[in-house]
A = this chain, B = another copy of it.
Amino acid sequence: MILIQRNSIDQFDRIFRINFINSLPGFKSTNLCGTVSKKNITNLSIFNSVVHLGANPPLMGMVVRPLSIARHSLENILETGHFTINHVNDKIFKKAHQTSAKYPPEISEFKETGLKEVFSDRIKAPYVKEAVIRIGLEFKEKIEIKSNESILLVGEIMEVFLPKKVLKSDGFIDIASAQTITSSGLDAYYKVSKLSRLSYAKTTRSLTENNIF
């Protein structure tokens, strides 16, 4: 075991520090966020910061750095009030990663990467056809994080597309069977394999394995 203290972190080379700090939270959700601009140009951007916020109402959060390329997504969401979240799977992760390149706003990442856009009647934002699990959201709240001027964007879940077979009898979605992948740091991608699904923890009984898995 080595100990790395704060003064060392501050002295790291910029890229070394970014790689290091981005590895610390653990594995990350890996999603493509679809939006459309006022000029009707679609935008697609990879995000590894989507988190669950609550089930009732159904809410998701997403951290956006306002000076990053992700600001195009943010601008579009604030203008249209809608965005989509599309799970990245092992067939599309390279195309998904390519969306992080700094394309100008007049160019659609769909066209550049070859991922196909598909629309529903209710959400004014494109879904990714190749994504197995797709979520349509309505913009709800923009929260400034004062410590570094990043933004937590809150969206309310309006609709979900998924294959019937991955939805289990208790509401659990088998996202591993939908080939959803995970990531670490800024650029490392991983497949998953099932360990166990555990029972609700109580102080008065031992855990058991849940076979709805």
Contacts and interface: CB of A to CB of B under 8 A. Distances in A.
A167 B4 CA distance: 11
A25 interface: yes
Chain A facing B: main interface SS:
mixed
Give chain A's interface residue range (CB within 8 Å of chain B).
35 or more
A102 B22 CA distance: 32
Copies of this chain in its oligomeric complex: 2
Interface of A: 1-6, 9-10, 12-31, 48-61, 63, 65, 85, 87-88, 90, 93-94, 97-103, 112, 120, 122, 133, 135, 140-141, 143, 145-148, 150, 152, 154, 156-164, 167-168, 170-173, 175-176, 180-182, 184-185, 187-203, 207, 210, 213
A161 B90 contact: no
19 contacts: A3-B161, A4-B159, A9-B58, A15-B171, A25-B51, A25-B85, A51-B51, A54-B65, A54-B147, A101-B202, A102-B202, A112-B203, A143-B145, A172-B188, A176-B184, A181-B195, A182-B190, A188-B213, A190-B195
A2 to B, nearest CB: 5
Given A161-B1, A175-B26, A196 B189 contact: yes
Nearest to A187: B198
B145 A61 contact: yes
Given A58-B9, A97-B207, A170 B19 contact: yes
B193 A191 contact: yes
A87 B163 contact: no
Contacts of A24: 52, 58, 60, 85, 133, 135, 157, 160, 173
